[in-house]
Chain A
Amino acid sequence: MDGSRQSSSVVALDVVTKLYPGAQSRAVDGISLDIVEGEFFSLLGPSGSGKTSTLRMIAGFEAPTTGRVLLDDVDVSGLPAYHRDVNTVFQNYALFPHMSIQRNVEFPLRMKKVAAAESARRATDALESVEMGEYAARMPHQLSGGQRQRVALARALVGRPRVLLLDEPLGALDLRLRQQMQIVLKRLQREVGITFIYVTHDQGEALSMSDRLAVMNKGSIEHLGTPSEVYRRPATRFVASFIGRSNVLPCSISADSNGSIAHCCDGIAVALPDGTAAGSALLSVRYESVTLSDRPTPGSISVTIEEVVFLGDAVELIGRTGETTLVARLHGLAGLDVQRGNVVDVLIDPAGVVVLRD
């Protein structure tokens, strides 16, 4: 989606396509990307969206079918992985099972022909930075998943690569550990200052850690922007439904000198910013933009509650009016006493509404 390219990008993809032999459709379908130095960039999408294939082409494990991969403005599309100044943290860690942790982390330095003493010192430092210093003499099979992940991180960083690629590194960890590691990763990235390219299917991770992210679907980028932009102003229906949770209401927009209004089914009308073009469209309303009103007010919608879902820190109310189902996500104590079968009034916050034209 981003067509312009600046020369200050550390990694750039120029209309890259990847078609695997024997495959029916392209895994990556003509994407272009510019990643700025020092940023934490995420590729977010469901399985099969092409995000891992994209990462592998940047790493050098696959070559693009068409298009170019550039590192610091140099075309590296045909360059094998061992010549690229890019390191990867693999999802299954890929630690060498026959080497100790110390030797694992020293490996990139040995390959660069760094002297033994200095290799040892830098490896020790790298292990310290991920708090694995005391495990240096152990073997990989003696470590837990989280520990191995940190060693993999140390090994990928010790060579001070230009770019660090992370392929769903936290996928195999439990929730608690994942949350801890997210903080470790973010802190490390800030301290070291290296560009991180992070692949994940978890939108929470992508939103909380990234400076910018690209939402991918079926080989293409549907939206590229900061987490805030992508969340608040999703560009397509896919992005709106993949990130956060939204009600999607078909509507037709009328525009006149008084402003624009979206008319949805069952008499629902939502005011839109002045100047919104008329026509048919989809209205994306985040669950948290639907609120409870304690009394009928102009613009409120009367719904019958079909389900009440308790989520701990929030309550979701699923309500129906006519043919339309609306979900409201209420925080704190709001909505705790609502029950199935109640008829309540809800309001749609126009600020939380996005118009999608697909």
Chain B
Amino acid sequence: MLAVGAWVLLLVLAPNLLLIVYSVFTNKSGQASAQLTLDNYHAIATSNVTLLLLARSLLTSAAAAAIATVIAYPMALFVVRHLGRRRTLAVLLMVVPLWISYLVRVYAWKIILGDNGVINSTLAALGVTNQPLSFLLYSRFAVLLTLTYVSIPFVFVTSYTALERVPTSLLEAAADTGATPWRTLRHVIWPLSRQGAAIGFSLALLIGVGDYLTPALVGGLQGTMYGSLVVSQFGIANNWPLGAALSVVLLVLVGLLLAIVARLTRTAGHLE
């Protein structure tokens, strides 16, 4: 217990406390000083741009996580129900992208979505379009698409784990008492596995909401996200207290959002 406590203290509590402490510091021409002030929070609350970016980031990453869930959960269901011994291979294939650097994967989308990329070239070759579709890249669409893609493996893995734990005997009991496959899904499988899907959703949300790499590579000007703001405060703008304040605001809001998600997907009873 002592080790766990020390771990939580060092790696979780301390950094977050530091962040909060920094957020009430003042910034004097690039140097943070220990004069406590709430100016940073005031600046955030009164900046329309900041609030807009905050809303956009939360919405985009939530949407990406949601779409990823809609895609990945049924896939996990299929793998668990119908793939028998080959399911390990399927899971491996789904997880392999995670072994590749995040930067490389996002860059790949940059190439695919570009004016001369795979999509535009194919459409042009098929005669469907005369000009390349420019909304594909350097847009909010591109950010959404990329974040969705990145989210899928996470939702898949947690959904798969949760679905595997549903005993076959329960599915048989449901069928035995007259439940069609759809009703078995709705009344038995989903309630018992939705927390897994929710965890995957939450992970995906966390990854997307503070991301600055994706908007930097494929977002263009329209696709700027909150993460970009935070990064610039710790980088070019050199205003760590403001950066910390921005981070704390995000932390609190995402925490609230995740708490709501957890509450909504709660299921009674214990699965043994």
Spell out A's residues near B (CB within 8 Å). Answer: 59-61, 80-82, 86-88, 90, 92, 94-100, 107-108, 111-112, 139-141, 155-156, 159
Known: A90-B172, A94-B172, A94-B173. A112 touches B268 (CB 8 A): no
B48 at the interface (CB under 8 A from A): no
Report yes or no: A111 in contact with B269, Cβ–Cβ below 8 A.
no
Known: A60-B175, A98-B191, A108-B177. A92 touches B269 (CB 8 A): no
Chain A residues whose CB sits within 8 angstroms of the CB of B188 once the complex forms: 96
Contact with A along B164-198 (1 / 0, CB 8 A): 00010110111111111001000110011000000
Q: What size tier do the contact residues of chain B reach?
A: 20 to 34
> Can you name 18 A-B residue pairings with CB atoms under 8 Å?
A81-B172, A81-B176, A82-B177, A82-B178, A94-B170, A94-B172, A95-B173, A96-B170, A96-B173, A96-B187, A97-B272, A99-B268, A107-B187, A108-B177, A108-B178, A111-B178, A141-B269, A156-B177
Report yes or no: B175 in contact with A87, Cβ–Cβ below 8 A.
no
- The 6 A-B residue pairs whose C-beta atoms are closest, nearest first, are A111-B178, A94-B173, A108-B177, A98-B269, A97-B269, A81-B175
Set A60, A82, A99: member contacting B180, Cβ < 8 A: A82
Spell out B's residues near A (CB within 8 Å). Answer: 167, 169-170, 172-180, 183, 187-188, 191-192, 267-272
Which of A98, A108, A112 is the most central at the interface, judged by chain B CB atoms within 10 Å of its CB?
A98
Report yes or no: B173 in contact with A90, Cβ–Cβ below 8 A.
yes
The number of inter-chain residue pairs (CB within 8 angstroms) is 79
Chain A residues whose CB sits within 8 angstroms of the CB of B192 once the complex forms: 97-98
Q: How far is the CA of A140 from the CA of B169 in the complex (A)?
A: 15
Chain B residues whose CB sits within 8 angstroms of the CB of A94 once the complex forms: 167, 169-170, 172-173
Report yes or no: A140 in contact with B177, Cβ–Cβ below 8 A.
no
Set A60, A61, A98, A107: member contacting B268, Cβ < 8 A: A98
Known: A97-B271, A139-B268, A139-B269. A82 touches B169 (CB 8 A): no
Which of A82, A86, A141, A159 is the most central at the interface, judged by chain B CB atoms within 10 Å of its CB?
A82
Q: How far is the CA of A87 from the CA of B173 in the complex (A)?
A: 9
Set B183, B269, B270: member contacting A99, Cβ < 8 A: B269
Set B175, B177, B267, B268: member contacting A159, Cβ < 8 A: B177
